Amino acid sequence: MPEPSKTVTVEKTPVIEPGHTFGTVTEKISAIVLTRPASNGWFVGFGMAFMLTMMMLYAIGYLFVKGIGIWGVTIPTGWGFAIVNFVWWIGIGHAGTLISAILLLLRQSWRNSINRFAEAMTLFAVAAAGIFPAIHVGRPWLAYWLFPYPNTMRVWPQFRSPLMWDVFAVSTYATISALFWFIGLIPDFATLRDRTEKRWVKIIYGMLSFGWRGSARHWHRYETAYLLLAGLATPLVLSVHTVVSFDFAIGIVPGWHTTIFPPYFVAGAIYSGFAMVLMLAIPIRKIYGLEDFITERHLQNSAKVMLATGLIVAYGYGVEAFMGWYSGDRYDAFTLWNRLHGPYALEYYALLSCNILIPQVLWIRRLRKSPAALFLISFVILIGMWLERFIIVVVSLHRDFLTSSWGMYYPTRWDWMTYIGTIGMFLAAMFLFLRLLPAISIFEMRTLLPEAEVKE
Amino acid sequence: MTNNRNSKGAPHEDVCPTKKLDLNVVRERLDAATGTKSGPEYWRSLEELAGSPEFQRALHREFPKDACEWLDSVSRRGFLKVMGASLGLAGMTGCVKLPKEAIVPYVRQPDGVVPGRPKYYATALTLGGYASPVLVESNMGRPTKVEGNDLHPASLGGTDVFAQAQLLTMYDPDRSQSVVSMGDQRSWAGFLSALRGPLAAQKPLEGAGIRVLTTTVTSPTLADQLHTFLKNYPQAKWHVYEPINRDNVLEGAKLAFGQPVETRYDFSKADVIVSLDADFLYAGFPGNTKYIRDFASRRDPDGKMNRLYVIESTPTSTGAKADHHVSARASEFASLLDNSTGWPDPTFLQAARSDVNARPGSSIIVVGDHLRPEIHALVHKMNADFGNIGKTVFYTDPVDANPINQTDSLKQLVADMNAGKVDLLIILGGNPAYDAPADLNFVEALKGDKVPLRVHLGLYNDETAELCHWHVNQTHELEAWGDARAYDGTASIIQPLIAPLYNGKSALEFVALLNGHADANGYDLVRAYWQGQHTGADFEQFWRKSLHDGWIEGTTFAPKEVSRKTSTRSEMNLTDASAIELNIRRDSTIYDGQFSNNGWLQELPKPMSKLTWDNAVLIGPKMAERLGIRTEDVVELELNGKKIRGPVWLQAGLPDNAVTITLGYGRWRAGRVGTAQGFNAYELRTTANPWIASGVKITKTGDTYKLASTQGMQSMDTPNGATRPLVREASLQEYRKNPNFAVEMDENPVPELTLYPPYPYDKEMYAWGMAIDLNRCVGCNNCMLACVSENNIAVVGKEQCVIGRHMHWIRVDVYYQGDRDNPKAYFQPVPCMQCENAPCEVVCPVGATNHSTEGLNDMIYNRCVGTRYCSNNCPYKVRRFNFLLFQDWDTPQYKMMRNPDVSVRSRGVMEKCTYCIQRISEARIDAETASVREGKDKLVGDELKTACQQSCPAEAIVFGNINDPNSKVSKLKAHALNYSLLGELNTRPRTTYLAEIRNPNPELEG
């Protein structure tokens, strides 16, 4: 038994349970991929998620055949579930980037055990989000016109439109997230290549590991690239959701046209992102016996981040309401009234409960340490954050300036199928990820061990 | 509810005719047939001969069993398209041979034809017999747009919604396309031979067994033909029935003058107008187009403004324009007027009376057609007492060629039919099987063997055609020669714009056949008649001028002196005040049901409720509260044992203890668009009480039914207690005190409040703008229909309207303010505002909507990918999106109907008003050509009109070049009343409004 190092002893709850060595860490994480047979539970879970994915594809196929009229969108509510879901998914992705990039730069080494699947989550969430802008347009086969590509029509996108900024923000985000995730995986690919006994598995991981041999030069290059990417990804945490919030803030619709949106969207994104991280981490650590690596400390830290960002979001709601009253603008005032008393008031109160009221129980230490409680609260927050986007998109649009044009928005079964289908797709990807790639970064975990301390 | 479509789960009846064939019956029939019948009787199968009900059912089913049972709206639509295409192709065989579509230029161009240049022909379209003078645009031989005839004294350029929508009716693929007998397609020759025997048999009887039933006839030629026929068969009878008839007007005139007269008004000279339930500012009231023009001309707050008092039983657009408005049950009108001078005590009436008294000879009292004859007689007296006769009110000969009491006429016919006196019934147009009063049981009289030979001439193979032995497909008024008189007697020649699509026959040609001229064509008949009438020298010149101008000089009826009978008072029996009154009215969009299959009209929002696709039981808020009924609850109405079910619409301003329903819905053989829409109000209509009945029972059924109103909220008050300054209004006094009140009602940001440098529009040749004078607008919906026709706007169907996806580029918003039992109502037409700081343009990611240098907010349909961001960001919500493939791309008839200058939008594309950019371009090109030709600069002037402007009978919409200070629109925009809708958003709209001024009686105000 080696001496306990200071990284482990400073905190009461350790980031990694004592008793692990390089060997046990590597064995425990790589075993999930290489040696443990897939359980029935995995097959059931993946099967259901896969079915939901197929349902989504069916819904999208029907949409392409018929047109977006099969959805509930109408005039005045030109945007509905598609945009709500888009913003929700993009927001969820943010936690992954925050954990892997910002916490890396801030040398928060506790992140090492959750960054890998948090990044995977980001990637899959961005993929789920990316579906919506492409299919929500009236002529999806022409959605590529949003990209500035050289063409014989000699037309160019219209760069004053926030949707254009969205295109760049989201595509940049998706690229950086994918690169960051992949680069981080390279040393672990090599580990898997070295440990597997099946030849074809060896070939695949070998190709993915780009010839990694673990030489000092490799490590040097790796560290530089990873740090650079972390530096590139860091502003994205702030910028992507800021740009997404511009979709609304630039518009003149009462309930959209407000300067509080960028910070409040970013906070909301991180808020929902951490909720999703917890919702994934809690069952994963339980099922795969990873409580040693994803410890109470991780749960606590995540809960604290949620508490903090939740308060920022609450402040955002407060400012919106205050401005509705203080501005004296008759349209803003009505939007506030409409949220509180209009036909969607129930949703607004549900939003306030889910996002502000219920998460306040996180002030209680006992609950921050309870995986079951955290799982439930995270679920509530995810619903709350979805409702927040619903309130912003739909409830602002359905009653705007001219009373004559007011209307109602009712989602159709196709809206629900597409939405639930993306959750299925996200989960299916997560299931595959768990079986095919190391869900926790092996080599980064090893750095947390006392063995990694370099003896002077 | 009359949604009769069977559900799929219902047990299928056996329609296979081969079962249950009783050979004994067949034998009996065969014996009977060979023994008794005079003419040869043909039968196609033993089943038919046996007359088995299964066969009859199979025979009378229009579509095979499952064809009419599509429940899913989307797939039904698809189905309709396929059906339409195949039907259209089937119809092609009956079409005249179309020119081959070879793409080569003319070697020798026909005279006057410039490809791509439309031509305009003056003609007339009738409604209830009265002619609407129109000018029809023809693109390479295809009529594409109906406009008002500015040369005609009854139109002056304006038109009405029904006339405009006739274009769609003409191209309707559901129109009857061939001669049909007992469900089989037959030929015209076959019909001739079938008719020959019975006609010959009637000759010795002097036609005693012949009855001709027409709708109201104002056509001099047709009337002449019918008189000739009656001369040939002196014992034959000519019956007239029109469901929306003017019997009360006729009887009222008889009471007052002892003879039928037509009343004509001159609203341009009337300072005070009192309307007793007369909707004289809406289509269907004879002369409405001219009346709207005259009325609007006196709504100028800077001129001598008129004052309108309206007492009405059902809110109408006329009531919305009132300066003073009172709701009263229709049965109370008699008591309201019941004293010797005609006016009782209430302050409203007293004020109106003193107002009228103060202006002898310059007031009008106008009364609704549906009110009792006694009230008409009384109003004649009142107009005389106030000295209006000959000044604002004129009497002329009746326009109707056969002014008889139509209800009595139909009653007589049914009695004869039931008595077996009718051997040959000829129904020329109309649909009495559907629209006859229920107590006459017309269907029973028509069915069976009571009338041995029944013949129907009609546009559709409808409810009546189904029950007739022979149905002859009629030509549409746009396809055939004819003539008709307008409300003032002015005769117009109806000239065809296209050869008949399905080889039909016009009523004229049909009657000529009865007169023994089977091959007569309409042109010869009309020309021959007018040649007979013409006294001057050069007939050819007279004929050409009449055709060109669209009316025949010297045919306008001159006012005539009529002496009023001294004692016209008869007992006006008052109804029980506690009984609930049932008002039956014509429908404001599908009239009496003849436009049921017209998608444009079905989708046109009714002026006061903005309902589409359905009629509803209109109930006032007070009664609804008392009975616990809400909008969209289905109620059952019971009157004299007859019951109908319909959904409720709460209508502000409807009096307590009264309900209003409209005619025209609940048809069972209208066609694919109109069948089974709404409920059938005719079932409660009786000969005794066709319009107003007392003692109806209302019971809630517990069901609900979705209604499709196109307007979300009909008030400018928001639920949080605030009011938005959308329509700005003041009284005349307030306006005189502060002419700038409208602009001052809200903030007016300075133009520089924008990030982007302002574009120097004033340096351009043109800057297009529009001003809409809310004082003039009467909410007649003409602009909407004109826009639909001009811009190829799709009909989307009820399910889409329910969720707010109607496609109208211009809409007329209605707002109610104040007391819900007697509210003020305002109309506001809203086209695209063409904002100079357009919020839609900056948010489009692909630049599909851009600003032109002339200030138009243009749409590039081909570039649009359909993000709908522009619509979200449009504060006026005037953008319309093709959520599905709304346009019918397949039906050949519709292809012919479309305006070739406007692209047909496909699925997934945003569309909107562009001030009729195709008209602008055409005018600009013309001006440029003229500049080059004449060598000096020529600019487009006020002669350029948008479609909405062109059709507006009130001249409320003015469009033009705001860079030209002398243009009409510039002058209006310089007016103190001019304000921008939502101007505080700094969108800088090019469409602005002139605030509404009311002219209340100072005695009543405050």
Nearest to B877 among A158, A405, A410 (CB): A405
Nearest to A406 among B713, B867, B875 (CB): B713
Q: Examine the pLDDT at B937 and tell me if it is beyond 60.
A: yes
Query: ipTM score of the complex?
Result: 0.91
Domain presence at residue A357 = yes
Question: What are phi and psi for residue B76, nearest 5 degrees?
Answer: -65, -40
**Is A138 close to B866, i.e. CB distance below 8 A?**
yes
User: Do B618 and B586 share a structural domain?
Assistant: yes
Domain presence at residue B803 = yes
* A75, A164, A171: best to mutate for the B interface, most B CBs within 10 A: A75
Domain presence at residue B146 = no
Nearest CA in chain B to A134: B867
User: Do B867 and B737 share a structural domain?
Assistant: yes
Domain presence at residue A1 = no
User: Do B682 and B613 share a structural domain?
Assistant: yes
Alpha-carbon gap, residue B310 to B503, rounded angstroms: 48
Alpha-carbon gap, residue B870 to A262, rounded angstroms: 21
Q: Examine the pLDDT at B73 and tell me if it is beyond 60.
A: no
CA distance A435 to chain B (A): 38
* pLDDT-wise least confident of A350-364, B48-62, B715-729, B951-965: B48-62
**Is B845 close to A146, i.e. CB distance below 8 A?**
yes
- A29 vs B121, higher pLDDT: B121
Please say which residue of B380, B396, B412 terminates a domain. B396
Q: Examine the pLDDT at B17 and tell me if it is beyond 50.
A: no
Coarse DSSP helix, strand, coil percentages of chain B, rounded to the nearest 5 percent: 30, 20, 50
* B865, B910, B912, B993: best to mutate for the A interface, most A CBs within 10 A: B865
Alpha-carbon gap, residue A69 to A74, rounded angstroms: 8
User: Do B760 and B641 share a structural domain?
Assistant: no
User: Do B364 and B231 share a structural domain?
Assistant: no
- The token pair at B520 is 């007569």
- Closest by CA to B918, choosing from B741, B775, B730, B792, is B792
A411 close contact with B: CB closer than 8 A:
no
- The token pair at B213 is 């039933």
- Closest by CA to A238, choosing from A311, A312, A164, is A312
Domain presence at residue A348 = yes
Nearest CA in chain A to B867: A137
3-state secondary structure of B446: helix
Nearest CA in chain B to A136: B867
Chain A positions in Cβ-Cβ contact with residue B913 (cut-off 8 Å): none
B575 — pLDDT class (breaks 50, 70, 90): low
**Taking the CB of residue B178, how many other CB atoms lie within 10 A of it?**
20
User: Do B306 and B260 share a structural domain?
Assistant: yes
pTM: 0.86
The residues pairing with B582 across neighbouring beta strands, listed in sequence order, are B659, B693
Domain presence at residue A55 = yes
User: Do B381 and B311 share a structural domain?
Assistant: yes
Chain A positions in Cβ-Cβ contact with residue B871 (cut-off 8 Å): 75-76, 78
A76 close contact with B: CB closer than 8 A:
yes
B103 — pLDDT class (breaks 50, 70, 90): low
CA distances from B965 to B329, B766, B971, B974 (A): 50, 11, 7, 9
The residues pairing with B472 across neighbouring beta strands, listed in sequence order, are B457
B574 — pLDDT class (breaks 50, 70, 90): low
Chain A positions in Cβ-Cβ contact with residue B861 (cut-off 8 Å): none
Domain presence at residue B382 = yes
Nearest to B872 among A161, A253, A407 (CB): A253
Domain presence at residue A243 = yes
User: Pairing between strand B692-694 and B581-585?
Assistant: antiparallel
Nearest to A142 among B803, B811, B865 (CB): B865
Domain presence at residue B952 = yes
Domain presence at residue B357 = yes
B37 — pLDDT class (breaks 50, 70, 90): very low
A169 close contact with B: CB closer than 8 A:
no
Chain A positions in Cβ-Cβ contact with residue B985 (cut-off 8 Å): 252, 401
B534 — pLDDT class (breaks 50, 70, 90): confident
Q: Examine the pLDDT at B113 and tell me if it is beyond 80.
A: no
Nearest to B726 among A145, A341, A402 (CB): A402
Q: Examine the pLDDT at A454 and tell me if it is beyond 80.
A: no
Nearest CA in chain B to A342: B719
Query: In the predicted model, what is the mean pLDDT of chain A?
Result: 87
Query: In the predicted model, what is the mean pLDDT of chain B?
Result: 85
Chain B positions in Cβ-Cβ contact with residue A401 (cut-off 8 Å): 724, 875-877, 982, 985
Chain B positions in Cβ-Cβ contact with residue A399 (cut-off 8 Å): 712
- The token pair at B265 is 């008004």
**Is B883 close to A252, i.e. CB distance below 8 A?**
no
User: In which residue are the tokens 């009316």 written?
Assistant: B551
Chain A positions in Cβ-Cβ contact with residue B864 (cut-off 8 Å): 138-139
Please say which residue of B675, B709, B743 terminates a domain. B709
* pLDDT-wise least confident of A19-28, B68-77, B239-248, B255-264: B68-77
Alpha helix stretches (DSSP H) within A67-161: 81-97, 103-105, 115-135
User: In which residue are the tokens 């022409």 written?
Assistant: A142
B300-338 confidence digits (pLDDT tens): 999 899 999 998 889 999 999 999 888 888 877 776 665
Q: Examine the pLDDT at B1006 and tell me if it is beyond 60.
A: no
**Is B876 close to A402, i.e. CB distance below 8 A?**
yes
Domain presence at residue B86 = no
Chain A positions in Cβ-Cβ contact with residue B867 (cut-off 8 Å): 136-138, 163
CA distances from B941 to B332, B944, B972 (A): 52, 6, 15
- B770 vs A295, higher pLDDT: B770
A284-337 confidence digits (pLDDT tens): 888 887 887 888 888 888 899 899 999 999 999 999 999 888 988 889 999 999
DSSP state of B831: -
User: Pairing between strand B130-139 and B142-148?
Assistant: antiparallel
CA distance B700 to chain A (A): 25
Instruction: Give the CATH number for residue B421.
Output: 3.40.50.740
Nearest to B716 among A70, A403, A405 (CB): A403
CB B879 within 8 A of CB B769: no
Nearest to B865 among A78, A143, A162 (CB): A143
- Closest by CA to B726, choosing from B662, B814, B667, B834, is B814
B477-496 confidence digits (pLDDT tens): 999 999 999 999 999 999 99
Which residues numbered 36-75 in A keep a CB inside 8 Å of some CB on B? 66-70, 72-75
Instruction: Give the CATH number for residue B608.
Output: 2.40.40.20
pLDDT at B757: 82
Alpha helix stretches (DSSP H) within A136-215: 162-195, 199-208
pLDDT at B166: 93
DSSP string, B151-182: TSTTTTT---HHHHHHHHHHH-TTS--SEEET
User: Do B758 and B654 share a structural domain?
Assistant: no
Alpha-carbon gap, residue B539 to A64, rounded angstroms: 64
Please say which residue of B396, B431, B464 terminates a domain. B396
Q: B938-965 burial, b if ≥16 CB within 10 A, otherwise e?
A: ebbeeebbbbbbbbbbbbbbbbbbbbbe
A136-178 confidence digits (pLDDT tens): 999 999 999 999 888 887 888 999 999 999 999 999 989 988 9
Nearest CA in chain B to A163: B845
Nearest to B712 among A69, A142, A405 (CB): A405
User: Do B948 and B841 share a structural domain?
Assistant: yes
pLDDT at B161: 92
CA distance A83 to chain B (A): 10
pLDDT at B355: 87
- The token pair at B743 is 């602009």
CA Rg, chain B, in Å?
29
Question: What are phi and psi for residue A405, nearest 5 degrees?
Answer: -100, 10
Alpha-carbon gap, residue B789 to B252, rounded angstroms: 39
Q: Examine the pLDDT at B813 and tell me if it is beyond 90.
A: yes
Alpha-carbon gap, residue A289 to B355, rounded angstroms: 94
| B628 contact partners, CB below 8 Å, separation of at least 6 | B700
Count the domains in chain B.
4
Average of pLDDT values for B109-132? 85
Domain encompassing residue B520: 181-245+403-549
Nearest CA in chain A to B869: A78
Residue B816 identity (one-letter amino acid): Y
Residue A403 identity (one-letter amino acid): T
**Is A138 close to B813, i.e. CB distance below 8 A?**
no
Q: Examine the pLDDT at B777 and tell me if it is beyond 60.
A: yes
B742-759 confidence digits (pLDDT tens): 998 888 888 777 777 888
Instruction: Give the CATH number for residue B362.
Output: 3.40.228.10
Domain presence at residue A48 = yes
**Is A67 close to B885, i.e. CB distance below 8 A?**
yes
User: Do B657 and B647 share a structural domain?
Assistant: yes
A–B CB contacts, 8 A cutoff, strictly below: 183
* pLDDT-wise least confident of B63-67, B512-516, B778-782: B63-67
**Taking the CB of residue A49, how many other CB atoms lie within 10 A of it?**
21
Q: Examine the pLDDT at B712 and tell me if it is beyond 90.
A: no
**Is B877 close to A76, i.e. CB distance below 8 A?**
yes
Nearest to A146 among B719, B846, B875 (CB): B846
A343 close contact with B: CB closer than 8 A:
no
The residues pairing with B772 across neighbouring beta strands, listed in sequence order, are B957, B993
User: Do B928 and B827 share a structural domain?
Assistant: yes
Q: Examine the pLDDT at A362 and tell me if it is beyond 70.
A: yes
Q: Examine the pLDDT at B905 and tell me if it is beyond 70.
A: yes
- Closest by CA to A431, choosing from A45, A111, A138, is A45
Nearest to B865 among A138, A251, A410 (CB): A138
Domain presence at residue B896 = yes
Handedness of CA A264, A266, A269, A275 (dihedral sign): negative
Alpha-carbon gap, residue A160 to B910, rounded angstroms: 19
User: Pairing between strand B424-428 and B210-214?
Assistant: parallel
Count the domains in chain A.
1
User: Do B740 and B872 share a structural domain?
Assistant: yes
- Closest by CA to B667, choosing from B465, B407, B440, is B465
Domain presence at residue A195 = yes
Which residues numbered 244-263 in A keep a CB inside 8 Å of some CB on B? 247, 250-253
pLDDT at B715: 86
pLDDT at B572: 54
* H or E stretch covering B276: strand B272-276
Alpha-carbon gap, residue B902 to A167, rounded angstroms: 33
Domain presence at residue B256 = yes
CB B651 within 8 A of CB B315: yes
Domain encompassing residue A99: 6-452
A333 close contact with B: CB closer than 8 A:
yes
Alpha-carbon gap, residue A79 to A71, rounded angstroms: 10
